């Protein structure tokens, strides 16, 4: 749990028309070749055509669990010729994580995962898994650095049945709180969405810096306006 708390923040917000995942992109050495194999610092992953995730914790552990989810999804497609339900994938992974808490000489996976997906039974869904193997469905949640403060903000600001754009604005506002930053920067964020396109096809997309810039500027502008409206303390 300590490794998760010390990692970059990750926020998930469920909307009526999609799910938004936002993560902090930690600064790394300028000498690192980010395009080289094994050097990518992504925090969001596509697990199947209809499910994506964001991770907080040990990257090496996250890679193992992401591969497990992908294999589980492909086995389901091979055996039943259909996409795996989102909760079934989460439950299968959490069963594996729980097994590593049972025996001495093995440590739990030091990673918490936010799952965002869609299926025909329950529509858009957002789940959070813990190293203990526990999981739950959420309307909005946060893990990683300053998770408690982020959860408090989400409880206050989340609106039932919000749109994807409203969820995006809330996710960015929460990331600013989690990162203890006076102003957000597109270079320090990785934002992904799970939505539906033409014909009901599930679409996973990661926002480019060009698309993220106006959203970040709007979030910073709103934060400045609220700061100016706050009455000054009197003696």
- The answer to whether position 186 is within a domain reads yes
Query: What is the 3-state composition of the chain as percent helix, strand, coil, each rounded to the nearest 5?
Result: 40, 25, 35
Residues 65-78: tens digit of each pLDDT = 999 999 999 999 99
Structural domains of the chain, count = 1
- The answer to whether position 233 is within a domain reads no
* pLDDT of res. 234: 46
Residue 123, domain extent: 2-228
Percentage of the chain modeled with pLDDT above 70: 89
- The answer to whether position 235 is within a domain reads no
- The answer to whether position 195 is within a domain reads yes
Residue 22: CB partners within 8 Å, gap ≥ 6? 10, 11, 12, 54, 171, 172, 174, 175, 189, 190, 191, 192
* Residues 200-215, mean pLDDT to the nearest whole number: 90
* Residues 200-206, mean pLDDT to the nearest whole number: 91
* Residues 12-30, mean pLDDT to the nearest whole number: 86
- The answer to whether position 59 is within a domain reads yes
**pTM reported for the whole predicted model:** 0.89
- The answer to whether position 234 is within a domain reads no
- The answer to whether position 75 is within a domain reads yes
Q: Say which CATH number the domain at 172 has.
A: 3.60.20.10
Sheet holding 135-137, edge to edge: 44-48, 51-57, 111-119, 123-129, 135-137
- The answer to whether position 216 is within a domain reads yes
Average pLDDT over the chain reads: 87
């Amino acid at each position: 749990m300590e490794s998760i708390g010390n990692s970059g923040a990750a926020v998930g917000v469920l909307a009526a028309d999609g799910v938004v995942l936002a993560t902090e992109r930690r600064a790394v050495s300028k000498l690192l070749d980010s395009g080289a194999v094994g050097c990518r610092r992504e925090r969001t992953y596509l697990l199947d055509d209809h499910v994506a995730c964001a991770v907080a914790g040990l990257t090496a552990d996250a890679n193992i669990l992401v591969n497990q989810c992908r294999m589980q999804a492909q086995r389901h497609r091979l055996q039943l010729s259909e996409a795996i339900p989102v909760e079934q994938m989460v439950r299968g992974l959490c069963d594996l994580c729980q097994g590593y808490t049972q025996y001495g000489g093995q440590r739990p996976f030091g990673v918490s995962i936010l799952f965002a997906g869609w299926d025909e039974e329950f529509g858009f869904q957002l789940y959070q898994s813990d190293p203990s193997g526990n999981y739950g469905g959420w309307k909005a949640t946060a893990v990683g650095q300053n998770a408690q403060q982020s959860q408090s903000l989400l409880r206050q600001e989340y609106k039932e049945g919000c749109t994807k754009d409203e969820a995006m604005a809330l996710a960015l506002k929460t990331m600013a709180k989690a990162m203890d930053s006076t102003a957000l920067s597109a270079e320090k964020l990785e934002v992904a969405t799970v939505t539906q396109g033409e014909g009901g096809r599930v679409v996973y997309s990661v926002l480019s810096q060009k698309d993220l810039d106006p959203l970040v500027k709007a979030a910073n502008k709103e934060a400045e306006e609220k700061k100016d409206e706050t009455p000054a303390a009197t003696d």
